[in-house]
Amino acid sequence: MMKRGTFILVAGFVLLWNSGFIGAEYGLPYTGPFTFLFWRYLALTVVIVSYLLVRNRFRWVGWKVAAPNMLIGVLAHGMWLICVLLALDNQVPVGIVALVVALQPLATGALSGFITGEQTNAYQWLGLVLGFLGVALTVGFRIDFGSYISIFGYLIPLGSVIGITVASLMQRRMGIKQGTNKLPVDLTLFYQSLATTLALVLPAIFMEDLSTRWEPEFIYTMVWLILAVSFGAYALMWQLIERLNATRVASLFYLGPPVTMFMAWLAFGDTIQVMDIVGLSVVFVGVFLSQIKKKVASE
């Protein structure tokens, strides 16, 4: 069973991570997707550098260590989030985006054996499949299949799945190899945030002219996304990846659509339907099964 400390990390990660969808809904009307993300990660980089300088922990670790961590950052932060924002900006409902993103655990489970050497047991596969079915139940009854949304809008969240899956497997592989390219969480976030900022600066300038309406609601949203989501949720995710295998951490993404819908009810007054509760129940069963470790025969 999961230890109490790990359970607290899981709960904190799920709540903070999924609040990012709500933050995107609040912030996108004030700027474009690339600019939104550029400001967010520029500010995050400044916050982390300030913290590292105060703690006398800021240092250059060399390209051999920095490069893989920066690549993980571009994938787990930049690619993941810009695909979500582009989908939302193209009027794709949050539920559909969350459903597509929830394909990540299946991708991670299928690839983890090849990348990290960790095997996915029958309970975990059953849990992953149940989790997907629960997500489909929760979101499927909300989709208006009669409305037209561009094919691009539907497909772009797959980029998020690819980005976060590859990043999670890379991070887990680095964690398994004792000390290889491994950095403390604060330095890891710095290099990831810096790389994401650099990757976004050109599209933000040339595609959107950095156009932004600096109104109080936008500033409050950015503060939450920077401190609670970009800093807090990602720090918790990397700690979980070091404690659990990649498949078990990935299964937590199945909680995304139901949790996001509950947050949308609190923030925007969205109604919660009966099938939301049914789907959420199935998701919880799936996540529970995916956390079961198969006992070794010699035990």
Top pLDDT among 3 and 233 is at 233
CA–CA dist 12, 66 (Å, integer): 28
pLDDT reading at 126 higher than 60: yes
Highest mean pLDDT (candidates 23-37, 98-112, 161-175): 23-37
Top pLDDT among 185 and 194 is at 194
pLDDT band at 111 (very low <50, low <70, confident <90, very high): confident
Q: Where are the domains of the chain?
A: 4-290
pLDDT band at 150 (very low <50, low <70, confident <90, very high): low
How many Cβ atoms from other residues are within 10 Å of residue 266's Cβ?
A: 9
Secondary structure of residue 27 in the 3-state scheme: helix
Average pLDDT over residues 174-184: 66
Average pLDDT over residues 152-179: 78
pLDDT digits (tens, 9 = 90+) for 54-104: 999 999 989 988 999 999 999 989 999 999 999 888 877 776 777 778 777
Average pLDDT over residues 116-139: 76
Secondary structure of residue 91 in the 3-state scheme: coil
> How much of the chain exceeds pLDDT 90, in percent?
31
Give the contacts of 250 (CB within 8 A, at least 6 positions apart): 104, 105, 108, 109, 165, 168
Highest mean pLDDT (candidates 21-35, 107-121, 197-211): 197-211
CA–CA dist 255, 92 (Å, integer): 19
pLDDT reading at 296 higher than 50: no
pLDDT digits (tens, 9 = 90+) for 230-248: 878 877 887 887 777 766 7
- H-assigned helices in the chain: 4-27, 33-54, 63-73, 80-89, 94-101, 104-115, 122-140, 151-155, 157-176, 185-208, 216-224, 234-243, 246-251, 256-268, 274-290
CA–CA dist 244, 3 (Å, integer): 11
The DSSP secondary-structure symbol of 244 reads S
pTM: 0.79
Residue 76 near residue 87 (C-beta atoms within 8 A)? no
Highest mean pLDDT (candidates 27-36, 85-94, 252-261): 27-36
pLDDT reading at 299 higher than 50: no
Residues paired with 212 in a beta bridge: 31
What mean pLDDT value characterizes the chain?
Answer: 82
Residue 36 near residue 225 (C-beta atoms within 8 A)? no
DSSP codes joined into one string, 174-192: HHHSTTTT---HHHHHHHH
